[in-house]
Chains A and B, each alone.
Chain A
Amino acid sequence: MFESCYGCATCASADKPLEEFIAKLPMQTSHHRVDTQETKCGFGLQGGCCRLCANGPCRITPDSPRGICGADADVMVTRNLLRAVAAGSGCYIHVVENTALNLRNTALIKGRMKGPEALERLCRIFGVNGKDEYEKALKVADAVLADLYKPEYVKMELVEKMAYAPRLKVWKELGILPGGAKSEVFRGVVKCSTNLNSDPVNMLLDCLKLGISTGIYGLTLTNLLNDVLLGEPEIRTAAVGLRVINPDYINIMITGHQHTMFVHLQERLTDADVVARAQAAGAKGFKLVGCTCVGQDLQLRGAHYTEIFDGHAGNNYTSEAILATGAIDAVLSEFNCTLPGIEPICDELLIKQICIDDVAKKANAELKPFVFAEREKLSNEIIDAIIAAYKQRRPRVKMNLMPDHGYENTLTGVSEVSLKKFLGGNWKPLIDLIVSGKIKGVAGVVGCSSLVSGGHDVLTVSLVKELIARDIIVLTAGCSSGGIENCGLMVAEAAELAGPGLRAVCRQLGIPPVLNFGPCLAIGRLEIVATELAEAIGIDMPQLPLVLSAAQWLEEQALADGCFGLALGLPLHLGLPPFVTASKVAVQVLTEDMKNLTGGQIIINSDAKESADILEKIIMEKRAGLKI
């Protein structure tokens, strides 16, 4: 093993040491397959292709402007977009449902609530109370679940309590207040099926509605429920990158978005009897190695479990490299982004794959569905399987570590609560910096990494550098965070790359110019920050000098998140269009008319400098609008 490279035609990466590491690997990764998948279908890229019925696939050309049924490009594009947004919403609603169920079950057995203040805040917002924290947690979880399970024709109640009043007014006027979140997904997929809805604007409004239910429940509330169960983020520094992998331990790489599903296992792994078993097998103990968003989530709350969590190694398209180090003994997956491409690597390196939620079942993974009541048994079985894998594989597998990769003192633990606390308990210091012009504005750089747009994290990282150089502070959430931190933009020294105003602020406070809010779920936290800023200034959200960028959006979930951004009235930059450019109506509504509907807009540009110019211009216009 590790004698020869698989093939050096790998795609570029913003993280040059990682790019070099992957190019030399003896196994195939996603980075190798970009080359052979380079030729794309033009119809697919533009969304001018429909295969919703047996007459298809129909494609739009100058000679055939309509499909056989008569659907034109506008119908094809918006139908497919709604399908994608509904699927993406379904993913996040699955996550919040499981999170609420786990909180509920924990409350019923009077299990530990590590975030009492988060619970109090939720009780205040929801207007519920209880005799003790268990009753309170039960009521909070039940309130969320009750909304999720409402039919489509009954509006969800917490939207009114969670949303910013001026936004709620706009949403009511547009008729896009969502009914039960699961039912809205159902309605979305019905609406875009064969020969049903063919009104492109009506379908785009449904995308916004799904955006609201995704954003408030799937994103924001998942974070807050997690805070109750797992503890709140605390600002601190931590190591990131492949350096965090310590081969002396039995290492479990975790992938997914549902931390509450392996809390029991995580706690068992540090129990003396389990550690003793690891030691008997020849290891010092167990470590969880962070990967994908759930890794970001663990990093964010890392202050609460320094013993078991080794640090965040990397994002979605770093997962193959993490496995290729040879030091990972098992992959525990509960959701995406668990790439299908990890399977041959796991096979080759004898890495045990275990899946605890069948929505993310890998072909070669052992399915151990998480059942709360059976968590004790389940954790023990998983531990047995992983120890067995460790014993079997370690004498046979050669290590290919990267101990210098990444950074040691990366700032993490930033949340809407911890940041405000850091600023002295209110947003005034940040608002003053924006008013004075030392910080021109705020950019939320969110979403995934894709291997297009120049390569792994390439557009994201170069865009962030352009933005901070223009004195725009960057807040991140999602796999983009993993790429940006592994490229060194979240250490205090990165202040050097910022413009003079932002640099001075960073030096004074000892912070980097890019603040990491963690997983994609934390887009919900960024939007709380945006809401609280607007509230503190006394304006509506579209007036804020604040922009969003999902430069390297990858998935349907990102599209659902993006719809939340649009519903909030925020400008949203995308590196590549979401398969919509065949439709003149979709392009017009998303990039122009949306400004009059919600105040939001989509900006599509794949060049970092040009994108930063556009975003800076929008920020300057918003500043002018506020007379600052």
Chain B
Amino acid sequence: MKRIFIDQEKCDGCKNCSFACMQAHRQTPGTVYDLDLLDPKNEARHSIVTNGKGGYVPVFCRHCAVPDCAGACMSGALKKDPETGHIQYDEKRCGTCFMCVMSCPYGNIKPDRVSRTKILKCDFCVNDKEEPNCVKSCPKKAIHVEEVVWEAAV
């Protein structure tokens, strides 16, 4: 499976990845010039936080081998795709319990501030043929995609 790897030493906190994620997941099509940076509907599915020592920690979905989020999901909205190994979210099945938000060990999953009934989670840009948009946009190559061996979770 493909996974995003993070080299936090390289991260400059420029948030280009966040901009790219917002653009990739916006609801109405458009160019980067008309992406509404103030619209909470456009929120990125990851975070860049400071490490308190002058550097940054990119917090991206790890698409874990044993995903705590999917394990905590009672409604079956979060499932590991048996082919790609990515954890995908089906908002129609979501029961709004936010247990995934509570259980993600990286603090990656965000509750959707607009509907308050959904979550925002990385889908690995499943509809794009190339690598995820965040990875493509990083000027420092602080995030990159690697193929890893995945053994089906127990």
Which residues does A use to contact B, with CB under 8 Å? 38-44, 59, 61, 64
Among B48-56, B102-110, B126-134, the one that faces the other chain is B48-56
Pairwise interchain contact A61-B15, C-beta atoms closer than 8 A: no
User: In the bound complex, how far is the Cα of B69 from the Cα of A528, in angstroms?
Assistant: 67
A606 to B, closest residue via Cβ: B54
State which of B15, B139, B140 has its C-beta within 8 Å of the C-beta of A39: B15
Among B25-56, those with CB < 8 Å from A are 48-50, 56
Pairwise interchain contact B50-A43, C-beta atoms closer than 8 A: no
When distances are taken between beta carbons in the complex, the residues of chain B under 8 Å from A64 are 139
Say how far A54's CB is from chain B's closest CB, in angstroms. Answer: 12
Say how far B10's CB is from chain A's closest CB, in angstroms. Answer: 10
User: In the bound complex, how far is the Cα of B11 from the Cα of A61, in angstroms?
Assistant: 12
Pairwise interchain contact B13-A41, C-beta atoms closer than 8 A: yes
User: Is B123 an interface residue, CB under 8 A from the partner?
Assistant: no
Pairwise interchain contact A38-B14, C-beta atoms closer than 8 A: no
Interface size range of chain B in the complex: 10 to 19
A42-B140, A44-B14 provided; 7 other pairs, C-beta below 8 A? A38-B50, A39-B50, A39-B56, A41-B14, A42-B12, A59-B14, A61-B140
Pairwise interchain contact B14-A42, C-beta atoms closer than 8 A: yes
A62 to B, closest residue via Cβ: B140
When distances are taken between beta carbons in the complex, the residues of chain B under 8 Å from A59 are 14, 139
Among B98-154, those with CB < 8 Å from A are 139-140
Subset of 22 A-B contacts with CB under 8 Å:
A38-B50, A39-B13, A39-B15, A39-B48, A39-B49, A39-B50, A39-B56, A40-B13, A41-B13, A41-B14, A41-B15, A42-B12, A42-B14, A42-B140, A43-B12, A43-B14, A44-B14, A59-B14, A59-B139, A61-B139, A61-B140, A64-B139
User: In the bound complex, how far is the Cα of B29 from the Cα of A326, in angstroms?
Assistant: 46
User: In the bound complex, how far is the Cα of B138 from the Cα of A42, in angstroms?
Assistant: 12
Chain B binding surface, main DSSP class: loop
A43 to B, closest residue via Cβ: B14
Count chain B CB atoms within 10 A of each CB in A40, A42, A44 and give the residue with the most. Answer: A42
When distances are taken between beta carbons in the complex, the residues of chain B under 8 Å from A41 are 12-15
A44 to B, closest residue via Cβ: B14
Say how far A262's CB is from chain B's closest CB, in angstroms. Answer: 36
When distances are taken between beta carbons in the complex, the residues of chain B under 8 Å from A43 are 12, 14, 139
Which residues does B use to contact A, with CB under 8 Å? 12-15, 48-50, 56, 139-140
Closest 8 CB pairs of A and B: A42-B12, A41-B14, A39-B13, A39-B48, A61-B139, A38-B50, A42-B14, A42-B13
A38 to B, closest residue via Cβ: B50
When distances are taken between beta carbons in the complex, the residues of chain A under 8 Å from B48 are 39
Say how far A138's CB is from chain B's closest CB, in angstroms. Answer: 52
User: In the bound complex, how far is the Cα of B134 from the Cα of A106, in angstroms?
Assistant: 62
A60 to B, closest residue via Cβ: B139
When distances are taken between beta carbons in the complex, the residues of chain B under 8 Å from A39 are 13, 15, 48-50, 56
User: In the bound complex, how far is the Cα of B56 from the Cα of A346, in angstroms?
Assistant: 36
Say how far B137's CB is from chain A's closest CB, in angstroms. Answer: 12
Say how far A473's CB is from chain B's closest CB, in angstroms. Answer: 33
User: In the bound complex, how far is the Cα of B50 from the Cα of A38, in angstroms?
Assistant: 7
When distances are taken between beta carbons in the complex, the residues of chain A under 8 Å from B139 are 43, 59, 61, 64
A59 to B, closest residue via Cβ: B139
User: In the bound complex, how far is the Cα of B54 from the Cα of A40, in angstroms?
Assistant: 10
When distances are taken between beta carbons in the complex, the residues of chain B under 8 Å from A44 are 14
User: In the bound complex, how far is the Cα of B56 from the Cα of A40, in angstroms?
Assistant: 10
Say how far B23's CB is from chain A's closest CB, in angstroms. Answer: 16
When distances are taken between beta carbons in the complex, the residues of chain A under 8 Å from B50 are 38-39
When distances are taken between beta carbons in the complex, the residues of chain A under 8 Å from B49 are 39
A61 to B, closest residue via Cβ: B139
Say how far A470's CB is from chain B's closest CB, in angstroms. Answer: 27
Say how far B117's CB is from chain A's closest CB, in angstroms. Answer: 24
User: In the bound complex, how far is the Cα of B11 from the Cα of A43, in angstroms?
Assistant: 11
B48 to A, closest residue via Cβ: A39
User: In the bound complex, how far is the Cα of B141 from the Cα of A64, in angstroms?
Assistant: 13
Say how far A300's CB is from chain B's closest CB, in angstroms. Answer: 38
Say how far B26's CB is from chain A's closest CB, in angstroms. Answer: 21
When distances are taken between beta carbons in the complex, the residues of chain A under 8 Å from B140 are 42, 61
User: In the bound complex, how far is the Cα of B12 from the Cα of A59, in angstroms?
Assistant: 12
When distances are taken between beta carbons in the complex, the residues of chain A under 8 Å from B14 are 41-44, 59
User: In the bound complex, how far is the Cα of B50 from the Cα of A39, in angstroms?
Assistant: 6
B140 to A, closest residue via Cβ: A61
When distances are taken between beta carbons in the complex, the residues of chain B under 8 Å from A40 are 13
Say how far A194's CB is from chain B's closest CB, in angstroms. Answer: 19
A49 to B, closest residue via Cβ: B14
Say how far A7's CB is from chain B's closest CB, in angstroms. Answer: 15
Say how far A475's CB is from chain B's closest CB, in angstroms. Answer: 32
Say how far A454's CB is from chain B's closest CB, in angstroms. Answer: 13
When distances are taken between beta carbons in the complex, the residues of chain A under 8 Å from B13 are 39-42
User: In the bound complex, how far is the Cα of B138 from the Cα of A43, in angstroms?
Assistant: 12
User: In the bound complex, how far is the Cα of B140 from the Cα of A474, in angstroms?
Assistant: 43
Say how far A451's CB is from chain B's closest CB, in angstroms. Answer: 15
User: In the bound complex, how far is the Cα of B12 from the Cα of A42, in angstroms?
Assistant: 5
User: In the bound complex, how far is the Cα of B92 from the Cα of A276, in angstroms?
Assistant: 69
User: In the bound complex, how far is the Cα of B48 from the Cα of A396, in angstroms?
Assistant: 43
A41 to B, closest residue via Cβ: B14
User: In the bound complex, how far is the Cα of B15 from the Cα of A44, in angstroms?
Assistant: 12
Say how far B125's CB is from chain A's closest CB, in angstroms. Answer: 22
Say how far B69's CB is from chain A's closest CB, in angstroms. Answer: 24
User: In the bound complex, how far is the Cα of B50 from the Cα of A64, in angstroms?
Assistant: 25
Say how far B79's CB is from chain A's closest CB, in angstroms. Answer: 32
